[in-house]
A and B are shown apart, each in its own frame.
Chain A
Amino acid sequence: NAGVTQTPKFQVLKTGQSMTLQCAQDMNHNSMYWYRQDPGMGLRLIYYSASEGTTDKGEVPNGYNVSRLNKREFSLRLESAAPSQTSVYFCASSWGGTTGELFFGEGSRLTVL
């Protein structure tokens, strides 16, 4: 069972470079999410997609863009990376609806120099 798959798992960027984090789920979930995790800050929501064709800002959207490519895939793009974006990024998915339990990918560790 693949569940939620994120790529890449590790990435080092220089300030100003761009990159895209990919996320795919095989559980036929409606909703998908991108969070970042920093020490002492918990998980902060960057963007989410409640259903295919929709995207919404979360708590910390500045510097990021997202694309819900189809029901399975939700990508996160950093157009011009900054050191403040050094973090661990988690993708998650959920049925939505009445339960809302999130299923997480393994995380992507990004370092911006």
Chain B
Amino acid sequence: ELKVEQNPLFLSMQEGKNYTIYCNYSTTSDRLYWYRQDPGKSLESLFVLLSNGAVKQEGRLMASLDTKARLSTLHITAAVHDLSATYFCAVDAGSGTYKYIFGTGTRLKVLA
């Protein structure tokens, strides 16, 4: 059964600093997704990573996927307050199931 773990669960960082959120998963998959959730709101898609070595960047966020290590990273560069949110990774359970399992989320707080 697919398990998806994120760390850290909570992250408080100063504006202007860099940090990385990690997403590990337990079974083979080559499709991984990152979502953002603002407090009290729904989730919105950030990145879709569909193959080993995939790298996507949007503004101060960059996501990558290493399917051999079963690891994805979400790197934050020069954080700003607007990035404060909860970030989730989700993994496709594979074999054409279209079943997506989420990690527990990383709650990011960027301090001014």
Contact = CB atoms under 8 A, between A and B. Distances in A.
Interface of A: 31, 33, 35, 40-45, 48, 50, 56, 58-59, 90, 92, 94, 96, 98-107
Contact of A42 (B45, B88, B97): B88
A100 B42 contact: no
Contacts of B9: 40
Interface in B1-44: 6, 9, 31, 33, 35, 41-44
B100 A33 contact: yes
Given A100-B48, A102-B33, A90 B43 contact: yes
Interface string B57-86: 000000000000000000000000000000
Given A50-B97, A100-B31, A41 B45 contact: no
Contacts of B45: 101-103
The B interface is mostly helix, strand or loop, or mixed, namely: strand
Interface residues of B, number: 24
Contacts of B104: 40-42
B25 to A, nearest CB: 13
